[in-house]
Amino acid sequence: MNRIAVFIDAGYLYAQGSVALTGSEKPRTSISLDEPRIIAELKSLAIAKAEGCSLLRIYWYDGAVSGGHLSSEQARLAQLDDVKVRLGFINTAGQQKGVDSLIVTDLIELARQKAICDALLLSGDEDVRIGVQIAQNYGVRIHLVGIYPSRGSQSVQLIHEADTVQEWSPACVGRFMSVHDVAVTEQASDSERYRLDGPPLQPVLDGIAQEALDGAADAFVAELWTEDIEGIFAYWNTGQRGIPPDLDRGLLRMGRCALSRDLDRAEVRAIRLRFRSGVLGRGSAQR
C-alpha cells in the first residue's frame, strides 16, 4: 500500500533540538514547541520523501509524566489531526524509557501488515536499528532524519542502515522550537498530585497565607505562554481533571517559595484553585 508513516522520538527531538539552537542540551521546561508547525513540517517532508505516497499518520513517542497522565503539550498534540501519541515512561532519574521498544514494535507491525511502504524516522538511538532492519526485510524504505550535528547525536550503525538520511539545520529547528530561560522546577511528591473532586470550594486560610498564595498563582499564570494555556484546555478536553502534572510541579514550587515552607493540604488546594481561576480568565481573554 502506498502510504508513509512518521515515527518521532520526542526525547531526541527536544534534547538535540536544544543543542542545535543553543549549543547544549536544555531542560524541557525551557523549551517551547509550536506543535502545529512541526506537524506541518513532518507531513511536508514525508510526502516529499515518498513521492506518490499518502500519509498514514504521525506517531509521536514520549515519556509519560507521573501517573501516566498526558502533559499539557502531549494533550495538544493528541488533538491534532493525523497524530497518535504513544507513551513510554519516565524513571526516577528523569530518563525516558520504553519509547524505543514502542517504535520498534509499531514499525515492524505496520511493515508486516503491509500498511506502509515508507517510514520517516526521527531518532538517534541504536536500539531502533533492529526495527529498521526487519521493516526493510518487508520491503519498507526508511528515511532517517537527524538534527544538527547528527553525526554526533545519532548512532552510526542506524545511519548506515537507513535508505536515505537528512539533517535538520538549526534554522530549520528554529521554525518550530525556541528556548527560553526558566528555573528548573523540582519534582512534586505523589501526595501532591492534583485531582479536583467535587465543587471548587475555596479553603479557609489566614489572610497572609491566602494573599501570598494568590500572588504566587497569579504570577505563575502570567508567565505561561499562550501555548501553555491552550494545552491546559486541551488537557481538560481529553477528560483529565485538575492541572497537568508538568505545570503543577512549578506551581507548587512557587507556593512553597511564597510561604518559605511546605504547603499543607488546604494551601495546596487554595493555590490550585487560584491557578484554575487565572487560567480560565486568560482563556476567555484569548478567545
Residue-range domain boundaries for the chain: 3-179, 190-286
Range list of H helices, the chain:
10-22, 35-49, 72-78, 99-112, 129-137, 150-153, 156-161, 170-173, 207-223, 226-237, 245-259, 265-286
Q: How confident is the model at residue 197 (pLDDT cuts 50, 70, 90)?
A: very low
Q: How confident is the model at residue 89 (pLDDT cuts 50, 70, 90)?
A: low
Q: How far is CA 60 from CA 35, 83, 144, 268, in A?
A: 11, 7, 15, 33
Question: Considering the chain, what is the average pLDDT of its residues?
Answer: 85
Q: How confident is the model at residue 286 (pLDDT cuts 50, 70, 90)?
A: low
The larger pLDDT score, comparing residue 167 to residue 188, is at 167
pLDDT one-digit tens code per residue, 56-88: 999 999 987 655 677 888 889 999 999 999 988
Q: How far is CA 263 from CA 28, 36, 218, 229, 269, in A?
A: 25, 37, 17, 25, 9
* Ranges 32-41, 92-101, 161-170: which has the least confidence: 92-101
The larger pLDDT score, comparing residue 198 to residue 102, is at 102
pLDDT, residue 259, reads 85
Q: How confident is the model at residue 204 (pLDDT cuts 50, 70, 90)?
A: low
Class of domain 3-179: alpha beta
**Residue 9 in grid coordinates:** 522520538
Q: How confident is the model at residue 188 (pLDDT cuts 50, 70, 90)?
A: very low
Q: How confident is the model at residue 202 (pLDDT cuts 50, 70, 90)?
A: low
pLDDT, residue 261, reads 86
Q: How far apart are alpha carbons 262 and 116 in whole angstroms?
A: 53
Does pLDDT of 200 surpass 60? no
β-pairing, 3-9 vs 54-64, is: parallel
Highest mean pLDDT: which range of 14-18, 96-100, 149-153: 14-18
